[in-house]
Structure 1
Amino acid sequence: MAKENSFDVVSLVDMQEVDNAFQQAKKELSQRYDLKDSGSKIELDKQKHEMLVEAPSDFVANQVIDIVSSKLVKRGIDLGAVKWGEVQSISGGNVSRKGNIISGIDKDTLTKINKDLKALKLKIKTQIEGDKLRVTSASRDTLQDVIAHLKSEDFGQPLQFVNYR
Structure 2
Amino acid sequence: MPSFDIVSKTDLNEVENALNNVRREVETRYDFKGSNCSIERADNVLTIFADDDLKLRQMHELLQGHLTRRGVDAGVLDYKNPERAAGQSVRQQVVVREGIEKELAKKLVKDIKGSKIKVQVAIQGDELRVTGKKRDDLQEVIAFCKELKTDMPLQYVNFRD
Q: What is the TM-score when the length of structure 1 is the normalising length?
A: 0.93
> Alpha-carbon deviations, 1:108-133, whole Å to 9, x = none?
21111111111011110111111110
Structure 2, unpaired ranges of 5+: none
- In structure 1, what residue type is equivalent to 2:85? I
Q: Which residue of 2 aligns with 1:59?
A: 54
Q: Which residue of 1 aligns with 2:70?
A: 75
Query: Equivalent residues in 2 for 1:1-165 (5 A)?
Result: 4-46=1-43, 49-165=44-160
- In structure 2, what residue type is equivalent to 1:71? H
Structure 1, unpaired ranges of 5+: none
Distance 2:17 2:31 in 1: 23
State the 1:86 CA deviation: 2.0
Q: What is the TM-score when the length of structure 2 is the normalising length?
A: 0.95
- In structure 2, what residue type is equivalent to 1:130? G
Distance 1:27 1:44 in 2: 15
Distance 1:61 1:127 in 2: 41
Q: Which runs of 4+ in 1 moved over 6 A?
A: none
SS in 2 for 1:93: coil
Distance 1:158 1:68 in 2: 17
Distance 2:79 2:116 in 1: 36
Identical residues among aligned pairs (%): 36
State the 1:155 CA deviation: 2.4
Distance 2:10 2:124 in 1: 18
SS in 1 for 2:91: strand
SS in 1 for 2:71: coil
SS in 1 for 2:105: helix
Aligned length: 160
SS in 2 for 1:34: helix
SS in 1 for 2:32: coil
